[in-house]
Structures are given as structure tokens and as C-alpha cells.
Amino acid sequence: MFVSNVLQNHYPFGMIMDGRSFSASEYRFGFNGEEKDSEVKSMNSNSYDFGERMYDPRTGRWMSGDPKEAKYPSYSTYCTFFNNPISIIDPSGEGGVLSEEKDEKSGKTFLKVTSIIYIYSEVVDGEQMKALGAKIEKDINDQWNHPDGMAQGTAYYRGKMVPLVFEVKVVVTSTSAAEELAIKAKEEDDYSANFLLVTNDGTGSRVIPIFPLSQSDGLSFNYGTLDINSVLNAGDSEGPHEFGHLLNYYAKSTDPKLMPTTAGHALKNETTSIMFETGNPNGQKNRRVSKTDLQRIENGNGKSFSSKEMIKNGRKNIGSKPSGVILK
């Protein structure tokens, strides 16, 4: 049995409603699931730490300028959620990509892939969407952070193997909001944003590939569909499988007989992979992220991220290029 010690009702921009909220003092999170910060204004829950910027819910404004303000001349640099907090969210204050990070305690380097997947639907109700979002977020983070037989995934970076961490958020939104967010992602060249239309028509899940496949290998756009029936019938593997496509998974072989029927899937002779094709004898429920799967993201270049671009600025765009469009 779970008894909540938190009850918070908020105005649209996040300010807590007086007399309609209770929160235990040790509970750190509030509006939008972000961490409360009482040090700035010395008052409870009057600012939130979104990672890249601090937010004041009383004014509905950021407390510092947008690092990408030049791309939005019609909006104030302190504007939040495009002044539409009901439909639009800003999970961090800035987009995310593959980045070089330092462990605060040990000081050791690790790589982190930050991604956000917006899911929306015209046929699945709100409560189902919330449950679906929570499930696939957990499945993706569990699988990609703990490959089969490994406590932690790794990648080659600057002459040594370092931990590879995935931080993926799944956010339920409306179709209209998804359209606006897709346009914003394209304008900002934000590779971290992805969009999946949730269906229940039994046609299966898919991420839209760039054609022709013979010229683009495993490259895909950053949008597609997620069949709710496939998610429920595939154990904990459907969301992680589609996420692999969003990361431009591609397996190559010198033997054409081993290549998958459709690009972006595991080789035919493999026994463990999250990227098995539909109909693989290993079965959908038995799909697991493998060490080899980690090496095949970014069009087969996931084994090493020691590119000149990565070394130059500590950040690298990976996965699918933002298209500015979604499926409806």
C-alpha cells in the first residue's frame, strides 16, 4: 500500500495554490516534476531548477536568458512554454545531446545520452497515455542503461572505455503541441526531441526511415508510431526497440545473408538484441539490449565517440535529425 505525503495544486504556470497543497518538508520535487529550490528567494517552492535555468512560477518566467534566444526574436528571452503552459513544456530549459560529463564524487568522465520522447494520440485516453508513458520511459532507461550481462554500458572515448548513460524522458502531450514542439526542434536543430503517435489499430510500431534505404543505411527521421497493443504484448522491449531506431541503429556485415530484411535491425544470426525484427524466433518478449547494440547506434558508430567534433566541444548530436513534422 502506498500513502502519498504530497498533495499539490498549481496555477497554470506552476505557482502553488494557497490552502490547496501539502508537501512533506523532505520532498524535493514539485511543478512539472522538477526540483524545488528555496535558496534563491528564501521561500518554499518559489523557484525550480530545470537543469539549464532557474524558473519562477509566480511570474511564469525564467530567471536568466535563453541561450538560444536569437532563434526566437518574437518571444522574450525569459518567456516560458511559449506562454502556453497547458500544452507546452520545457523539460530542461535547453535541448539535450550526447555529452561528456563528470561524476561529482569520483571526478571520472562518463558519456550521457539525453533524449525526450513526446507521445500523443487521438484515440487513446489520457489515463492510458500516462500509464503508457511511464512504462516505456522505465523500459527504455532500464534496458539501455543495463545491457544484457553488463551492470553498465560503455563506449570508447578519448583513448579509454567510459560508462555510457542514457537519460530518457517520455512526455504525454497533445497533437497540436507536438506539432509546435517539432517545429521548434527543427529550428533549434535539437536532436534530442522525438515524436511518437500512439495508435491502437494493430498495425504495429515503427519509426519512419529515410528513403532509399540502400543509400542511407539505417537512418531514420525523429518521428513514428507506437502501437499500444504491441507495447503491452512485447513485455519490456517495444519502447526500447523503437528508441534504438530513433538512435539510428544499424548493423553491418560482410555476409549479405546475415543482413536483416529491413535496415535498422539486428543481424539474422544473433541470439541477443533489442533490435530483432518482427517474427524473429527469439520472440519480442525476449529482446534485450546487448553490448553489440550499444556499438551500433549512430548508424553503426556507437563503439567509439572519439570524433573530432566530440573532442572539440564535449557535445555531439546523435540519432535522428529533427524533421519539423509529425504523424497524425
Residue range 189-236, pLDDT digits in tens: 888 889 999 999 988 898 876 554 444 555 667 889 999 999 988 889
Query: Where do the domains of the chain lie, and which CATH numbers do they carry?
Result: 1-82 (no CATH), 98-316 (3.40.390)
Look up residue 143 and give its DSSP letter.
H
Confidence grade of residue 3 (pLDDT, cut at 50, 70, 90): very low
Between the alpha carbon of residue 194 and those of residues 78, 187, 208, the distances in Å are: 25, 14, 11
Q: Is pTM beyond 0.85 here?
A: no
Of the given ranges (89-93, 145-149, 226-230, 312-316), which has the lowest mean pLDDT? 89-93
DSSP E strands: which ranges in 103-184? Answer: 109-120, 154-157, 160-172
- The SS3 call for residue 190 is coil
Find out whether 205 and 136 touch, Cβ atoms under 8 Å.
no
Backbone angles phi, psi at 187, to 5 degrees: -65, -35
Q: By C-alpha distance, which of 290, 318, 115 is closest to 220?
A: 318
**All three cell numbers of 13:** 504556470
Rounded CA separation 148/151 (Å): 8
Confidence grade of residue 6 (pLDDT, cut at 50, 70, 90): very low
Between the alpha carbon of residue 240 and those of residues 154, 176, 293, the distances in Å are: 17, 26, 11
Higher pLDDT, 246 or 40: 246
- Burial class from Cβ neighbours inside 10 Å (0-12, 13-18, 19+) for residue 106 reads exposed
CB burial of 250-284 (b: ≥16 within 10 Å; e: otherwise) equals bbeeeeeeeebeebbbbbbebebbbbbeeebeeeb
Give the list of residues 6+ apart from residue 89 with CB closer than 8 angstroms, or none: 32, 81, 171, 173
Amino acid making up residue 256: P
* Predicted pLDDT at 84: 60
Rounded CA separation 29/157 (Å): 34
Confidence grade of residue 138 (pLDDT, cut at 50, 70, 90): very high
Higher pLDDT, 117 or 283: 117
Q: Are strands 220-227 and 193-199 parallel, antiparallel or unpaired?
A: parallel
Rounded CA separation 120/309 (Å): 34
* Predicted pLDDT at 5: 43
pLDDT, tens digit (0-9, with 9 covering 90-100), for 253-269: 899 899 988 888 999 98
Higher pLDDT, 273 or 160: 273
* Predicted pLDDT at 153: 92
**All three cell numbers of 281:** 524466433
Give the list of residues 6+ apart from residue 307 with CB closer than 8 angstroms, or none: 316
Q: Are strands 193-199 and 206-209 parallel, antiparallel or unpaired?
A: unpaired
Find out whether 50 and 56 touch, Cβ atoms under 8 Å.
no
Higher pLDDT, 243 or 16: 243
Say what percent of the chain tops pLDDT 70: 69
Amino acid making up residue 154: T
